[in-house]
Amino acid sequence: MEGTGSLIGHIALKNMSGEHPRLHAKNLDKKLGFKIPKIEVKLLQKFRAYDQQNDVSSRKQHFEGSQVWIGLHPQALQTPYCDIYEALSILKFDIDHIVDIGAGYGRVGIVSSVLYPGAKFTGYEIVKQRQAEGNRIFKKWGISNAFIKLENVLQDGFEIPEANIYFIYDFSQEEDINKVLRKLSLKAQKNFFLITKGDRVDYLMKNKLTNTWKMFMNFESSHLKIYTPKMLVKEKV
C-alpha cells in the first residue's frame, strides 16, 4: 500500500500555493481519489435536504432529530485540510489518539496520519455512505491506524473513548451538541484538547459551559477554536 506521504506531506497540507482553502481541499480530495460530489448528489436524490423541513417529494428526512447536512456543498460540509493542519500542528505534545465526532469523510484522519503517524484516529459518522468512503480512502493509502465507525454518538449508552484530542462541529441540533460536550466535560480530570467549529458550539461554549472549558487558541481565519478543561489549562505553545 502507498502511504499518504507519497502524495501529500506537510508542505501540501499547509497550502503553500495560497489557493482558497476550499479549492485547495477540493484538489486534494481529487488527488486522493475521493468521490464525494457523486456520493452527495446520490444522498440528495434519496433524502431531504438539510434546509427543507417540508418536502412534497417522496424523499424522507434522514435521521430525524439529527442534522447530517445533506444538500450542503461538499466543501462547506467539511473543514479544509489546511485549517485542520494548522490546528493540529499547534499541539506539540505526545499524541496517541485523536477522536472526531461527526467525522464526515475523515479529513482529520488524513491530516493526523501526516502529523502524527503513530497516533490512532477514530471517527464517528452516522451517514454510512460517508463512513464507507472515508474508510475506503484510508485503506487505499495504507492508513492502517485510522477508522471511521458507523455509530450515533447520541444513543444512550454511547461512551466517548479516551483521547488526547477531540474534534466536534455543529453535527446536530444545539441540545445534541450540548449532550456530547457535557459528556466530554466529565473527562476533565484527564489531559486533552477539544477543537471546535460552528455557531452552535460557539454559543454553548460562551453561554452554557464557561465553568468547564477555557480557550487555548482561536484561529480567526478558519473559525476553529481549541479548548482545554479549566482545571488542566496550560500555557500556549
pLDDT exceeds cutoff 50 at 62: yes
Per-residue pLDDT band at 235 (split at 50, 70, 90): very low
Q: In what order do the strands lie in the sheet with 193-197?
A: 146-150, 120-125, 97-101, 165-169, 193-197, 224-229, 213-219
Instruction: For residue 26, give the amino acid letter.
Output: K
pTM to 2 decimal places:
0.88
pLDDT digits (tens, 9 = 90+) for 84-125: 999 999 997 899 999 999 999 999 999 999 999 999 999 999
Pick the CATH number of 1-237 from 3.40.50.150, 3.20.20.140, 3.40.630.30, 3.40.50.880: 3.40.50.150
pLDDT digits (tens, 9 = 90+) for 15-46: 888 899 999 999 999 999 999 999 999 988 87
- Count of C-beta atoms within a 10 Å radius of residue 173: 14
Phi and psi at residue 47, to the nearest 5°: -120, 160
CA angle 140, 16, 32 (to 5 degrees): 15
Domain boundaries, the chain: 1-237
Residues 128-140, mean pLDDT to the nearest whole number: 96
Instruction: For residue 45, give the amino acid letter.
Output: Q
Spatial separation of the C-alpha atoms in residues 101 and 197, rounded to whole Å: 12
Instruction: For residue 146, give the amino acid letter.
Output: A
Beta strands in the chain (DSSP E): 97-101, 120-125, 146-150, 165-169, 193-197, 213-219, 224-229
